[in-house]
Amino acid sequence: MHSDNFWHQIEKPVFTLAPMEDVTDTVFREIVLGVSDPSCLHVLFSEFMSTHGFVHAIGGPRVKHRIQINDSEWELLKKTGVKIVAQIWGTDPDKFAQTAREISEEGKFDGIDINMGCPVRKIVKQGGCSALIGMPELAKEIIYATQEASSVPVSVKTRIGLKKVVTEEWIGYLLETNPVLITIHGRIQKQQSEGLADWDEVAKAVALRDSMGSSTLIHGNGDVMSYQEGLEKAKEYNVDGIMIGRGIFHNPWFFNKEIIERSPEERLNLLWKHSHLFTSTWRTSKSFNILKRFFKIYTSDFYGAAQIRAKLMETNSMEEVKIVLENLDYELDLL
């Protein structure tokens, strides 16, 4: 076990923001971090990055943006003490080792997480992510190779099965490799994001861990819509932590002890800050349309929000967003 194993040093339950494609880039992480209580948000995850792309001489630059950390985010991480973990995926243990070695040697990430849970069909067809549930020996090889190459703690994020639930069998395999943490999304791959997450299966994984006498931490993930609900789930299902995914889309102020009614001004100022930071970070390297998926987060739960959102969805630049916001009857800080 790493002497700098921060996972075991955080007071339980640990709250983390899930790795999400085209969501948890350095920009959105900084936005969330800036409005969160550091005692309620402990660990951020990067988007998931392909190990194949990372080690490829030509493809490398195309995927490295997924683990980019802006200087402003870095300063905020240092100030708050919140940790950051790089999530990686692939099918080749050697590429995992090379990627893990380079990331951990760079010294910015506190941990490395292996994606064995993403349910997207095109990735599963390649044998990556949740497809590894059906290939436990390869999954083990990947974990061992990553652990051996990494100088930071290695964790795994996964699901409770592929076409059917195989929680105890699958988690049993993973526990044999002694990852520092297993985060379990309570759905099978076939469900994608449909239906309800099965937290009873997450609890089975905890019981199995305990019966094996393992020191691996178990976190649960799925359908947690408030910080308070996360605390209740942690207690009810005996998990060491809670990972928040789609819950952040309902409330960017999720990671705070109290639920406070946020004014339209607060919401729209945060939307502007996000738009400005997104544009200054990515310029033309990322489509402005990626930003639009966030607009609903900030334009909801207040009178006239739907009309504002409709106008914002027609914009194609930060300048156009500013024009829309300037024409509203709110006192906004649009510097």
Residues labelled catalytic: 118
Distance CA 280, CA 81 (A): 25
The residues pairing with 113 across neighbouring beta strands, listed in sequence order, are: 87, 155
Tokens 């085209």 label which residue?
22
Distance of CA 59 to the CA centre of its chain: 23
Distance CA 279, CA 319 (A): 10
Phi, psi angles (nearest 5°) of residue 87: -100, 135
The residues pairing with 44 across neighbouring beta strands, listed in sequence order, are: 17, 84
Looking at residue 99, its amino acid is: T
Q: How distant, in Å, are the alpha carbons of 23, 30, 70, 161, 210 from that of 44?
A: 12, 10, 14, 25, 26
Distance CA 68, CA 47 (A): 9
Cβ proximity of 23 and 46 under 8 Å: no
- Closest alpha carbon to 243 in 184, 188, 187: 184
Residue 115 is encoded by which pair of tokens?
A: 């994606």
Distance CA 63, CA 40 (A): 30
Distance CA 214, CA 6 (A): 17
Cβ proximity of 291 and 278 under 8 Å: yes
